Amino acid sequence: MPISCSVPPGEAVPELGVRTVRGPPAGRAGGPAEVTFRLAEDRDRIAAGMKDIVVRRLFAAGFSLETALSLMGDHPAAGRIREAIRELDLAIRDFREVLFDHHRPGPPSSGRPG
């Protein structure tokens, strides 16, 4: 199903964090090399944005958990917090590998935080 857009080309859509793209000039469809180049540019732009936003949030959450863990002492829940921190570290590593190294992440660990 085609997607329609009422936003003129080149205009920003702040709610979505995107800008509409102008198509190739009239009478020119853009060759496969141009399409490949534009797709690579988009992939790199998206990867950089994801790294800036998502990885930093995951890192901040892990850091907050480490701070909370240091305040817990020998509390019975400390082990679960340590496991959650390990899972966040693995998620960040997997995220970076998928975005930048184009590898599939390994299987999730056996434990689940929560």
Write the pLDDT tens digit of every residue in 2-48.
444 454 555 554 554 555 555 555 545 568 888 888 888 888 888 78
In a domain, 79, yes or no: yes
Domain that holds residue 63: 32-101
To the nearest 10°, report the CA torsion of 20, 23, 25, 31: 150
103 vs 86: CA distance, rounded Å:
20
In a domain, 114, yes or no: no
**82 band by pLDDT with thresholds 50, 70 and 90:** very high
pLDDT at 83: 96
In a domain, 106, yes or no: no
Tokens 């998620």, located at residue: 91
pLDDT at 3: 43
Structural domain count of the chain:
1
In a domain, 19, yes or no: no
In a domain, 7, yes or no: no
In a domain, 69, yes or no: yes
CA 68 → CA 42, 57, 61, 74, distances in Å?
A: 38, 16, 11, 12
In a domain, 55, yes or no: yes
pTM: 0.52
Note the helical H segments in 19-114: 32-50, 56-72, 78-96
In a domain, 97, yes or no: yes
Provide the mean pLDDT of the chain: 74
